[in-house]
A and B are shown apart, each in its own frame.
Chain A
């Protein structure tokens, strides 16, 4: 099995067509001409030496203001295709260079189905056209929006755009443009006998778990098709990255998956540390893992409780939120914050663990294990929960891979793929834990995978508790931000470094880095492009929920509207994770 995918591509397409690029993260990166793109992706998808069945991410970079592009072909807009191979356990990045006067490329939605929404997002954010795309229209910005926000000439701040005025006429006009027209989507209004009802589920709906809008085409009670409409939660986190220093961006990462807390900081600081070449000390690694797994427990408890509420059980959500409060006691004692601690730093964590943390964590683990036993009796063994979720929203493994599923969603289909085991990062290779899998890929299996993951996370936390190394909580590397306070009072160089890196920001060397973690919802990744400045040039956030919610029509066709509620509850997503 050949592991050199660049060599494979060069053999297939010729020397002149493929240009390799070195990146800080050691992921093979190759530039392909736009006209050979579909051939290259088809070749890779079915590659004989190990195929790339999943399109992990599709994004773009506006290269017009970038200065450090040594060795890269000229490009105004670069479209980046990030493919993942399970057999090779390797990624490949294919880049296509586009000039600004003809920023258009063939759509790959026919090769990878999940490219649909990613291409719509690139079109929305950059104005890049995709020929042959089924519905190329805006996805994150509202239909009345003018301009493409991630382009470098577009303003970032709302205060640069003038005060927001919305008169009644404006509001009525905007609402009318949001109305659903089935003809736009190629939907019929009836099937000859029955007329279809087009029901808006959301954006204000308790079952939508956020401001997600789904338009369900319904024949009576049965769903014929579903069209998700996202963008109601778009906070421009990627553009914000270009305006914040590497250090001050960390609170924005917290709010991407707002149930995940420091788990969101993790991929971002890993990517910055890759770019800067920072090695994190052992104690910091174990602290990070402990806090990240604690937040996995917290997020899964919300999932568990809301899933039970979605299938009709009113009480479990109260019990789980009470457990969450116990976990938040630990988080608040250690970090000072509850949901959004923003506690990881470039090079380590913000401060050392407080004295007495062992007791808090040590009491929590057996408490949580007892509660999980009770919940098994109340929720997972409950006949009604099983009846409402077994066989509902099932998806085959091939479909899950085609559509970019990851995390518990993918594992529920029976595939043991967990970045913590397959691509250990941040110290996970030193921990013993199992990776739970399901078998049918239905809602019940997703629930069981999540519940078992809580137990495995408690195991990891216990190992962190018993084996916490001593040492510094942050690296001594000059780019670790902010430098450790104890050192700043001893010499002037450290004091200057501290002042500059906190106020102006650390200057991260130019390059590109990608870091992915096994976050609470799936594979969460940051792709950072640095131009040698104090701010990121491009912050691409690949979120798991974006791929999962794109699958909702696939999961729910033919089922009833009450099954849709179960499916939404079983697909662990958070709106800020989808829209960023």
Chain B
């Protein structure tokens, strides 16, 4: 029914309901940007293929141009030579846009504490989700994408840049480590690698 003004931080009721509808639509159609830096890109491409099929989650097509893409997946190591280009491409993306950091190298430099690698892309770019792994298996990548999609569904973005409240209200970022901790700690029987 009609939402109370107090429960909607953006104020106007009409805008809030439209924003929810749009957020629901955005959640189910985030198209990734065809931006592969390194080995993680191969696992990202694998997640597009039949066995994993990321299209189930709305990431139907990899768009080659940043103007058409919603989600920039930093798949791979961010090199110092590449850093200005990554920022440039991020600036060329149209709103709404999100960044998913895939793999240890993008998260923090990973195992490459070396002169030519930026120790984490969040030193010069805002990041929405971090997916760990080296490389993360396609399942992990999709888990990260689903996490981002759930966060996107609760985001409040301005309907118009001309009128209405401006500013993006993003969901707080949960940590899967904390969320899944009890379940993981409950697993005490580990399969031996000596048999299949």
Residues of A within 8 A of B (CB): 140-142, 149, 154-159, 161, 163-166, 170-172, 174-175, 178, 203-206, 210-211, 231-236, 239-240, 251-252, 255, 258-259, 302, 317-319, 321-322, 324-325, 333, 336, 338-340, 351-352, 354-357, 359-360, 575-576
Cβ-based interface call for B59 (8 A): no
* CB–CB B87/A171 < 8 A: yes
The listed residue (B35, B49, B196) touching A355 by CB distance below 8 A is B196
Residues of B within 8 A of A (CB): 34-39, 41-43, 45-46, 49-51, 62, 64, 77, 79-85, 87-89, 109, 111-119, 123-124, 134-135, 137, 193-196
* CB–CB B196/A357 < 8 A: yes
B41 to chain A: closest CB distance in Å? 8
* CB–CB B113/A158 < 8 A: yes
Which chain A positions have C-beta within 8 A of B39?
Answer: 255, 258, 339-340, 576
* CB–CB B114/A233 < 8 A: no
**B49 (CB) vs chain A CBs: closest residue:** A321
Which chain B positions have C-beta within 8 A of A359?
Answer: 196
**Whole-angstrom CA separation of A232 from B41 in the bound complex:** 15
* CB–CB B77/A235 < 8 A: yes
Which chain B positions have C-beta within 8 A of A205?
Answer: 64
Which chain B positions have C-beta within 8 A of A333?
Answer: 196
* CB–CB A142/B81 < 8 A: yes
* CB–CB A235/B79 < 8 A: yes
* CB–CB B115/A164 < 8 A: no
Interface residues of A: mostly helix, strand, loop or mixed? loop
B90 to chain A: closest CB distance in Å? 10
**Whole-angstrom CA separation of A155 from B79 in the bound complex:** 16
* CB–CB B50/A142 < 8 A: no
**B113 (CB) vs chain A CBs: closest residue:** A157
Q: A141-B116, A164-B118, A164-B123 are in contact. Are A324 and B46 (CB under 8 A)?
A: yes
**Whole-angstrom CA separation of A447 from B137 in the bound complex:** 29
* CB–CB B116/A325 < 8 A: no
* CB–CB B112/A236 < 8 A: yes
**Whole-angstrom CA separation of A267 from B167 in the bound complex:** 55
* CB–CB A236/B80 < 8 A: no
| Sample of 11 more A-B contacts, CB < 8 Å, known A158-B113, A236-B114, A360-B196 | A158-B119, A210-B37, A211-B37, A211-B82, A234-B81, A255-B38, A258-B39, A324-B46, A355-B195, A356-B195, A357-B196
Most buried by B among A231, A234, A302: A234
* CB–CB B42/A258 < 8 A: yes
Q: A204-B35, A206-B64, A356-B196 are in contact. Are A155 and B135 (CB under 8 A)?
A: no
* CB–CB B83/A166 < 8 A: yes
**B41 (CB) vs chain A CBs: closest residue:** A210
* CB–CB B195/A321 < 8 A: no
**B192 (CB) vs chain A CBs: closest residue:** A354
B77 to chain A: closest CB distance in Å? 6
B163 to chain A: closest CB distance in Å? 29
**A168 (CB) vs chain B CBs: closest residue:** B87
B193 to chain A: closest CB distance in Å? 6
Which chain A positions have C-beta within 8 A of B137?
Answer: 338
A243 to chain B: closest CB distance in Å? 8
Most buried by B among A158, A161, A322, A576: A158
Which chain A positions have C-beta within 8 A of B194?
Answer: 352, 354-355
The listed residue (B42, B45, B82) touching A203 by CB distance below 8 A is B82
The listed residue (A149, A171, A302) touching B83 by CB distance below 8 A is A171
* CB–CB B115/A156 < 8 A: yes
Q: A164-B123, A235-B77, A351-B193 are in contact. Are A158 and B115 (CB under 8 A)?
A: yes
* CB–CB A322/B195 < 8 A: no
* CB–CB A175/B84 < 8 A: yes
**Whole-angstrom CA separation of A174 from B137 in the bound complex:** 34
Q: A158-B117, A354-B196 are in contact. Are A175 and B88 (CB under 8 A)?
A: yes
* CB–CB B38/A575 < 8 A: yes
* CB–CB B79/A232 < 8 A: yes
Interface pairs (12), CB distance under 8 Å: A159-B119, A164-B119, A174-B83, A175-B85, A232-B82, A234-B81, A235-B112, A235-B116, A239-B114, A239-B115, A325-B51, A338-B43
